[in-house]
Amino acid sequence: MKEKYIQILVIAMTLVYGVFVIFLYAAEPRSLEEISSKVVETVQNAATKGQVITGTYEIDQAKFNEGLMAFRQNNFIVARDSFAKADPERRDARTQFYISYSFYRQGWGRVTNDDALFKQALESLERVNFIDKNFRSDDQDLQLRTPAELKNELEEGLRVTADDFNPLKVFRERK
């Protein structure tokens, strides 16, 4: 073998072996069996990042539909899980809006709201505004279709006012 081929081989070998070592220390598999599953996970993440860089990123429509179905059945935990899988890079305004809405609906209470869930809803809503400032949902089932409306509702829910002690409040409806 010629000298230059051996030198090319060392560069290739160092890169491949080096990347493998870095992968092991980054992924930290706990057993030999776990290495393969970590490899698949890392490759999928890398592929998604590649799509983002090249501008070809799209959400997983099947997962999104699963999430939407769970959302309409008031199964918000499953819905959020599906939405998160559909949009792993959190770059789709519609999906992020549904995640925020699911926090709102889950946290809404006739007597009291769950403040922790409302705060998470606000955090998700910030992402929607960051992705698309003019976002407007086309879902007819939602009464709050813009991030501004949903944000107002969430902030109202978090604020303690005299109106909170109005007994007629129990007759209000979830939006």
21 in contact with other proteins (CB under 8 A) = yes
Q: Which residue reads 């006739």 in tokens? A: 110
Please say whether the dihedral angle defined by the alpha carbons of residues 59, 63, 68 and 74, taken in this order, is positive or negative. negative
User: What does the alpha-carbon distance between residue 139 and residue 144 come to, in Å, rounded to a whole number?
Assistant: 10
- Give alpha helix (H) positions in 28-166: 32-54, 61-72, 76-86, 93-107, 115-131, 147-158
Asked if 33 and 45 count as a contact pair (C-beta separation under 8 A), the reply is no
Q: Which stretch binds other proteins (CB under 8 A): 3-11, 40-48, 95-103, 135-143?
A: 3-11
Q: How far is the CB of 107 from other proteins (least distance, A)?
A: 38
The DSSP symbol for 165 reads G
Using CB under 8 A, which of the segments 10-18, 79-87, 126-134, 153-161 binds other proteins?
A: 10-18
Choices 24-32, 55-63, 64-72, 98-106; region in contact with other proteins by CB under 8 A: 24-32
Please select the residue that binds other proteins; options are 6, 53, 168, 170, rule is CB under 8 A: 6
C-beta of 45: minimal distance to other proteins in Å?
Answer: 18
Q: By CB under 8 A, is residue 19 in contact with other proteins?
A: no
Angle between helices 93-107 and 61-72 (to 10 degrees): 20
Distance CA 64, CA 76 (A): 13
Among 14, 42, 74, 152, binds other proteins (CB under 8 A): 14
Given the structure tokens 């179905």, which residue do they identify? Answer: 69
| Under rule CB under 8 A, residue 33 binds other proteins | no
Stretch that binds other proteins, among 27-35, 46-54, 84-92, 118-126 (CB under 8 A): 27-35
Is 24 near other proteins (CB under 8 A)?
A: yes
Q: Which residues bind other proteins (CB under 8 A)?
A: 1-4, 6-11, 13-14, 17-18, 20-21, 24-25, 28-31
